[in-house]
Amino acid sequence: MALLDAVWVNVGSWFLFVFGLVTPLYLIFGYIGLTGFRDISRYEEHHTFYYRLNPLTKIIFTIVLTFVVAVTAWSIDLVIGLVVLSTYLTLKRGLRRLALGSALVFASVIGLAWYYATQTPYGLLMYAFYHICVASVSATPQPPSAAWMALFTPVWQWASYFTILGYQPVLTTQGLLYGMQVSTRAGVVLISSLILIMTSTPSAILRTLGRLKLPVVLIFALVVGMRTVPRIFDTLDTAVKVQFMRGYGAKANKVTRVFYLFGGVLTSIVPAMTFLFRGARNTAISADTRAFRAYKQRTFLKPFTFSKGDYVFFAIIAGLVALAVFSNLYGFGRAIPYSAVGSSCGATSTA
């Protein structure tokens, strides 16, 4: 019986470990792929709602959304995320971008949630969920003590050697919720940032940031970055496929192919970057021989205007702020007081 238990714990632990590692990797390399990343990281002209907005509105939206999801519970973040994600359908090639965006967000949520769920110390979870602060790690109740059992709901007991990987001895419901809290926040920010990238030309962003008096060099670096990112994915895609053609991954099957793709990307980084850096020299000449940095600021061909759509969007942003306030008033505020981490913990300890 003990042997069966040991087998069960080991097999189960490794299955869960592989799940947490492979699912994001599979989604990123198996489903999205390099061409998917290219498609989700570049602007394509279209005429729907987002495309008509001033980039400043979208930047403000992303910033406000970041604050809103930081102060609300993960379930609310999840709903917000799904609503914003569904608006991808209005983008050019909306269905494909919705599928790619969903896969990317799901991959990051799973990856991050799994990491935090398994590795967050119990002491931090105690403070996050019960505002109980302990002065040191050695004083934190550990499973299977009664004090620990009173606070945590165990889901899975890891094989003992998993602690070497940084895992807590037992996976708990609280750990999973904490993981969801952190990852959904990151996911929502990712969703809104991609909207900015997919629906604004770099020049429009340059114009906006220029009005905000950001240094021209900094803005230009961002803009060239936006122009270059899709090209990086394109170049990597060619490099990896050429490797496949030369026999890399010759023994791969449908399941393991994704790992070969991952390996192929890693080995292609140096030649791809070398190739792109050679091109970057031309980019520098092209900009500098057209009077770039002649002055600290630039003028712009197109005026900086807000449309009716921008004002509608400002109302939506205001609604989000209201949602955050009401959520907190009704007990759906953030559950993780970060002051628990560090020396201030002892000063505010209630335990």
Partner 1 sequence: MAETGSPEASLANPVDVKDLVFNYVGVGKPVLTVGDFHVVDGEVALVIGKSGGGKSTLVNCFNGVIPHIFKGNDPDGVVVYGNAVKQTPLPKLSTMVGTLLQDPETQVLNYTVEEEIAFGPENLMMPPDEIQRRVDLAIATTGIENLRERETYVLSGGELQRVALAAVLAMQPKLLIMDEPTSNIDPEGTARVFQTLTGLKGKSTLIIVEHKLERALHFIDRVVLVDEGKVVFDIAKAKLVDYVDELHAAGIDVPEHYLYAKKFRMDPSNIEGIRQRIAREGLQLGTPQRGGGGKVIMEAFAHVEVQGKVLVEADLTLREPQMLAIMGRNGAGKSTFLKAVMNFLDKELTAKSKLMINGVDLSKASIQERGKHIAYVPQSFDLMLINKTVEEEISYSMRKRGVKDYKGPTEEFLKLFGLQEFRRRDPLMLSVGQRRRVAMAAALSSGVKIVMMDEPTSGQDFYHKEIIAKEINMLKGLGYSFIIVTHDAKFVYRYADSMLVLDGGKKVLEGTPEEVFASSQNYSVIPPTEYYLRNPDIPIPELGMLGV
From candidates 136, 274, 343, 350, binder to partner 1 by CB under 8 A: 274
From candidates 145, 153, 160, 286, binder to partner 1 by CB under 8 A: 286
Q: Which stretch binds partner 1 (CB under 8 A): 1-9, 199-207, 305-313, 335-343?
A: 199-207
- Under 8 Å between Cβ of 268 and 239: yes
For position 249 contacting partner 1 by CB under 8 A, the verdict is: yes
Beta carbon of residue 89, minimum distance to partner 1 (angstroms, whole number): 16
Closer of 131 and 298 to partner 1 (Cβ) = 298
Q: What is the size of the binding site for partner 1 (CB under 8 A)?
A: 62
From candidates 10, 35, 66, 328, binder to partner 1 by CB under 8 A: 35
Residue where the block lists tokens 């759509």: 309
**Distance between CA atoms of residues 191 and 171, nearest Å:** 28
Closer of 282 and 343 to partner 1 (Cβ) = 282
Beta carbon of residue 277, minimum distance to partner 1 (angstroms, whole number): 11
**Distance between CA atoms of residues 72 and 336, nearest Å:** 10
For position 270 contacting partner 1 by CB under 8 A, the verdict is: yes
For position 166 contacting partner 1 by CB under 8 A, the verdict is: no
For position 348 contacting partner 1 by CB under 8 A, the verdict is: no
From candidates 8, 15, 19, 44, binder to partner 1 by CB under 8 A: 44
Beta carbon of residue 111, minimum distance to partner 1 (angstroms, whole number): 22
Q: What is the CA radius of gyration of the chain?
A: 24
**Distance between CA atoms of residues 345 and 325, nearest Å:** 26
- Under 8 Å between Cβ of 58 and 199: yes
Beta carbon of residue 108, minimum distance to partner 1 (angstroms, whole number): 21
| Contacts with partner 1, 89-128, as mask; x by CB under 8 A | -------x--------------------------------
**Distance between CA atoms of residues 257 and 26, nearest Å:** 9
For position 279 contacting partner 1 by CB under 8 A, the verdict is: yes
From candidates 243, 261, 320, 324, binder to partner 1 by CB under 8 A: 243
Residues that bind partner 1 (CB under 8 A): 33, 35-36, 39, 42-45, 96, 201-203, 223-224, 227, 230-231, 235, 238-239, 241-252, 267-268, 270-272, 274-275, 279-280, 282-295, 297-303
